[in-house]
Homo-oligomer: A and B are copies of this chain.
Amino acid sequence: MALYVQKFGGTSVGSVERIKAVAEKVKRFRDEGHQVVVVVSAMSGETNRLIDLASQINDEPTPREMDMLVSTGEQVTSSLLAMALHKLDVAATSYTGGQVGIQTDSAYTRARIQRIETDDIQADLDDGQVVVVAGFQGVDDEGNITTLGRGGSDTTGVALAAALKADECQIYTDVDGVYTTDPRVCSKAQRLSSITVEEMLELASLGSKVLQIRAVEFAGKYNVPLRVLSSFEDGPGTLIVAEEEEASMEEPLISGIAFTSSEAKLTLLNTPDVPGVASKILGPIADANIEIDMIVQNVAPAGDYTDFTFTVAKSDFKQTRSILQDQVIPALGGGELRGDENIAKVSLVGVGMRSHAGVASKMFRVLADENINIRMVSTSEIKISVVIDEKQMELAVRALHSAFGLDKDSIQGE
């Protein structure tokens, strides 16, 4: 007998039929003798419906009232799923986040879980009940309803699994696992049977939106075995594990390739290399709440001029360019501005990189062989990212996927 926390997202509970299908799936686990806690999102479309109502009433609703409003979506699903389980003669009780003892801070719309009181859930489980929990929400110390931010139901699931010391937290989504890269771009992409938390974090932050980053961090921190599976078809999915538990004997060099064309690049050439130049460039941009991703700085050999390049979201490109032109260049006393919106970032991710030299040089060679020009490079311990021309992104992904042995027929043991 195992204890599973199972999280079903909005698409998985998007209709009466799908809620019934989730109940059938949960019942199969109960029939096998397992204990089950189910975390549900709002039915797909419901959260947007509520946000739309709010926006018709107040263009700047307070975060507290937004949480009061949108938290109802998950509550509705939780009660409907309990009813669907009852229909199958499965004992079940639904709870809001607050009822089930999920205590958060008071940072409305992006609250953080502080503690979970599991006594009541454990009593229900011991009593043979399936416990259905409205995801994405909790209450603060004063009993106000809070939400954990978009995708927060994943976090609810992992946090409950950690608090209950569950055997596995299963995240049911509309994909059947984590892939080596996006199958829509590379037809030879394949599902990974397992991946480490760190790799998953790099892939998630780079644009593979299977799981919310915070949930993965949480799983890593509390050592919760996390599995991504499909709601709609049976299969083993992808297990996300702490590195030391990685099952595969022969660890592949690279686990996956992430890519995005949602960024733009800005370069300041020939800026006087005064002390603190980087903060003088990035400070005004951060003040405007613009997030910066990659940063590269080259100092000229003579040491008195510097070239400074960084990327921002495409949607922030124009505003960032104005800030540089109007504030930063005058403040620095010189510099020449270049911008490029037609870029893509392609990243290799893999813990194997740590112990293998030569990943970067192999990556550059593969791209050179395809006549792909590298504009920018950034590395971390388990990741190498390059910025290239947006038009060459898919070509780069496919060439790297093949060269690093990720193509369907080249990995075994799946």
- Complex: how many Å from CA A72 to CA B76? 7
Chain B residues closer than 8 Å to A405, beta-carbon distance: none
A82 interface residue, CB < 8 Å from B?
Answer: yes
A143–B65 contact, CB under 8 A? no
- Complex: how many Å from CA A80 to CA B69? 7
Chain B min CB distance to A288 (Å) = 26
A363 interface residue, CB < 8 Å from B?
Answer: no
- The CB with the most chain B CB atoms within 10 A, among A71, A79, A82, is that of A79
- Complex: how many Å from CA A145 to CA B58? 29
B83–A62 contact, CB under 8 A? yes
Copies in the complex: 2
**Interface 9-mer from A49-57, A166-174, A303-311:** A49-57
A68–B94 contact, CB under 8 A? yes
B83–A57 contact, CB under 8 A? yes
- Complex: how many Å from CA A74 to CA B117? 28
Given A56-B16, A99-B143, are A79 and B83 neighbors across the interface (CB < 8 Å)?
no
A61–B86 contact, CB under 8 A? yes
A147 interface residue, CB < 8 Å from B?
Answer: no
A65–B53 contact, CB under 8 A? no
A19–B57 contact, CB under 8 A? yes
Kindly supply a per-residue 1/0 record for chain A positions 75-97, scoring 1 wherever the CB is within 8 Å of any chain B CB and 0 otherwise: 11011101110110000011010
A16–B75 contact, CB under 8 A? no
A7 interface residue, CB < 8 Å from B?
Answer: no
Nearest CB in chain B to that of A70: its residue: B79
A64 interface residue, CB < 8 Å from B?
Answer: yes
- The CB with the most chain B CB atoms within 10 A, among A76, A83, A93, A99, is that of A83
- Complex: how many Å from CA A138 to CA B26? 30
A65–B50 contact, CB under 8 A? no
A54–B68 contact, CB under 8 A? no
Chain B min CB distance to A108 (Å) = 12
B76–A58 contact, CB under 8 A? no
Chain B min CB distance to A96 (Å) = 8
Nearest CB in chain B to that of A67: its residue: B79
* Chain A, range 155-198, C-beta contacts under 8 Å to B: none
- Residue among B69, B87, B99, B145 making CB contact with A76, cutoff 8 Å: B69
Chain B residues closer than 8 Å to A86, beta-carbon distance: 58, 61-62, 65
B65–A79 contact, CB under 8 A? yes
- Residue among B71, B80, B93 making CB contact with A53, cutoff 8 Å: B80
- Residue among B62, B84, B96, B99 making CB contact with A57, cutoff 8 Å: B84
Chain B min CB distance to A16 (Å) = 4
Nearest CB in chain B to that of A17: its residue: B56
Given A16-B53, A16-B56, A57-B16, are A79 and B68 neighbors across the interface (CB < 8 Å)?
yes
A94–B65 contact, CB under 8 A? yes
A20 interface residue, CB < 8 Å from B?
Answer: yes
B93–A64 contact, CB under 8 A? yes
Chain B residues closer than 8 Å to A79, beta-carbon distance: 54, 65-66, 68-69
A80–B57 contact, CB under 8 A? yes
- Complex: how many Å from CA A363 to CA B143? 58
- The CB with the most chain B CB atoms within 10 A, among A65, A72, A99, is that of A65
- Complex: how many Å from CA A64 to CA B86? 12
Chain B residues closer than 8 Å to A20, beta-carbon distance: 57
* Chain A, range 325-375, C-beta contacts under 8 Å to B: none
- Complex: how many Å from CA A76 to CA B61? 13
- Complex: how many Å from CA A80 to CA B96? 20
- Complex: how many Å from CA A84 to CA B20? 37
5 sample A-B contacts, Cβ–Cβ < 8 Å, listed by A number: A54-B79, A57-B84, A68-B82, A72-B75, A99-B145
Extra contacts besides A69-B83, A71-B75 (13): CB < 8 Å: A16-B53, A53-B76, A54-B79, A57-B80, A61-B83, A62-B82, A64-B93, A65-B82, A65-B86, A68-B75, A68-B82, A69-B79, A72-B72
